Amino acid sequence: MLLIDEDARQDALDALTDAGTWIASAAHWTEIDRTVATMAAAAATGDVQLLTTATAHLEYLSTRRATDAGKGPKTPPPEPVRDRLNETIHKIGK
């Protein structure tokens, strides 16, 4: 089992689950995907500080979606991002 405290785990799971429901531009999804990859790496190594920081950044990206106007068409998560979200949820949820 990963050594991540329960509060950090739950915050990360909530943010990842929420991200799966977002509509955003391709550029925004690229940034979201990088953040989720950081979260996965932090979970894999048990780095609570990095997980907490990356979770906060993912939550910040949610608020930035409102200013994503004019940056191309908006879509739900592209398949690779959706897959990374699901894999990371599974990894952190263990």
Residue 73, pLDDT score: 87
Phi, psi values for residue 68, rounded to 5°:
-85, 5
pLDDT band at 20 (very low <50, low <70, confident <90, very high): very high
What is the average pLDDT value for the chain, to the nearest integer?
90
Residue 4, pLDDT score: 78
Residue 18 has pLDDT above 60, yes or no: yes
Residues 6+ apart with CB under 8 A from 63: none
Residue 11 buriedness (CB in 10 A; 0-12 / 13-18 / 19+): middle
Handedness of CA 68, 79, 20, 54 (dihedral sign): negative
Residue 1, pLDDT score: 43
The answer to whether residues 16 and 74 touch, using CB atoms and an 8 Å cutoff, is no
pLDDT tens-digit map of 37-78? 999 999 999 899 999 999 999 999 987 766 666 677 889 999
> Looking at residue 77, what DSSP letter applies?
-
